Structure 1
Amino acid sequence: MSGPLPDPRTPVDAVVRTAQYLAGIVSYEGLWPQLARVVHNFYGADIAAFLARDAGGEIRCLQCEPENTELAQVCAESAKQVFESGFLSTEALSLPDPHESILLPIGRERQRTAYVLVAAHRGRTPLPRETLDLYLALAGLIETTLDRIASQHRFLSMADNVPELLFQMVEQDGA
């Protein structure tokens, strides 16, 4: 494929470009900063954050773009209801400048939401339905990427064990 990349500011092209970009990610290393940059650059979010909840229920920020501890804390506070309900939420973030945001649950682990994506856009008007739909598509792409990486890790783990299994089978047959 040659030619210029699609303009990421158009909705369909943002999704296509995201899918192409995520297809190249093969490990968890550096995943969250890459995803935050995608949300910031391809979807035009002024703030992009990914949050996780540990076994004790504590919410921690995996990545915030731009990097800012206070901003990450505001996102974590807003994400509590999404972790509890498993449903997306739209709200204004409590920041000096008004920001309308969407908070999306991503992935499930042991019947709980694994991650929350926070994408905030500067302004007072609620995000249009088309923007919400784009973020829903993005959440699906991210979940697919996480599942693909997990599957690759399981396969590689099994492949690492094949020589040992073969050795054990040969030992048993030779005994």
Structure 2
Amino acid sequence: MTARERMVVAVGAVVVVTALLVSRVLIPGARAWMARDAQLAAAHARAAALSGRGVATSSVEAAAAARERALSTRPRRLVQARSAGLAANAVQALLQEAADGAGLLVNRVEVDAEPDSTGALTATLSAYGDVHGLAELLRMLDAGPRVAEVRRLTVQQNSALRGAPDVIQVSIGVRAPVLIIGADNGGTP
């Protein structure tokens, strides 16, 4: 081979090696680098969106607390829920919170699953404590933020605690009007 032919073969080999290097190494490496940048940018965007939701969540919680405070200054309200089961749960929580606030120890809270013909749920609370706790429970149910009417009250000395004559067993029947806000009325009261 002549010097000129060797030069052409060498230049051709350099061109082939350069083409292989560019097509097999440099271009895939550049694509991976750009994809990594795009993934980082997407991760930063998701992080910013999530931190924005955290701020929005705290502002929603603050607004809900302010709304609840504003509603607590208004006259007593009905228990509102999207279904009868949720209304029963709300009445149960209402009774449990009132008994806890009065210092009574709750044995059982039973709430009917469906409202009666008047649109009210009936519930029974069994608890024990002292007379002062009973008086506080009745006051809380009478003046609380939700309408709850005491229909039946049974008080007896707790026979299991003979050494503590000031401990009484209390059973209270309560009627709580509820408003079911469901899909049948368009989701509005």
Compute the TM-score of the two structures, normalised by the length of structure 1.
0.31
By percentage of residues, which structure has more helix? 2
Which is greater in Rg? 2
